[in-house]
Copies of this chain bind each other. A is one copy, B any other.
Amino acid sequence: MARPRKFDEDEALQKMVQVFWRHGFDATTTRMLEDATGIGVRGIANAFGDKEEIFLKVLGVYTQMARGVVTQVFDPPRLQAAQMLFQSLVQETDDPDDVTNCGCLMVNTVFELGRASPRVRDAVEAYRSMWREAFCKAAVADGVSDPDGRAEFLLGLLWGALSQIRLMGSTTAAAPMAQVAVETIEGWKRKQPDL
């Protein structure tokens, strides 16, 4: 009895993820969201709410995207998957139009918004927990001691590498860090062949 929505909500959210990923929260204007989605700002507000609501939905979509990658790479959960992760991190293209060269939306978000919005902070913490648990399960599966500490360290190293990528605007900027990450994990495995 009512007119259904013309555009695809998921598709529009994907587009907006790209915009926020590239420009951050403040620098993203409603006009940019209009251009990216092809929807007027009234239509966007009607479908998704105000800017903060949109951003939280974007963070949710981004987390879901990452969750897909995590479950795929860490199946089975092994430290080798973490090594592959760091290697693939720097094997992307240097194309400035490739949004992966903007680093990680979550890292950039914390840098920009700090600890201002509790809802944003919760979203970031959920994202970090996802990675932490994946690392921890991998450490447990490989029989490494102190899996919690190792996971925390890998999380820090991953965010450091993503920070480097953002700073330099290119994934290849993190190559040295990725290399030492792979070597360090390799050292863990060799020190504990079977426990």
Contacts and interface: CB of A to CB of B under 8 A. Distances in A.
Contact of A177 (B160, B167, B173): B160
- Which applies to chain A's interface (DSSP): helix, strand, loop or mixed? helix
Contacts of A153: 176-177, 180
A154 B177 CA distance: 9
Contacts of A174: 156
A95 interface: no
Query: Could you say how many copies of this chain the assembly holds?
Result: 2
A35 interface: no
A164 B112 CA distance: 14
A110 B167 CA distance: 6
Interface in A156-177: 156-157, 159-161, 163-164, 166-167, 169, 173-174, 176-177
Given A156-B173, A163-B163, 18 more contacts: A107-B167, A108-B111, A110-B166, A111-B112, A111-B167, A112-B112, A114-B169, A153-B176, A153-B180, A156-B164, A156-B177, A157-B180, A159-B160, A159-B164, A159-B167, A160-B177, A180-B184, A184-B184
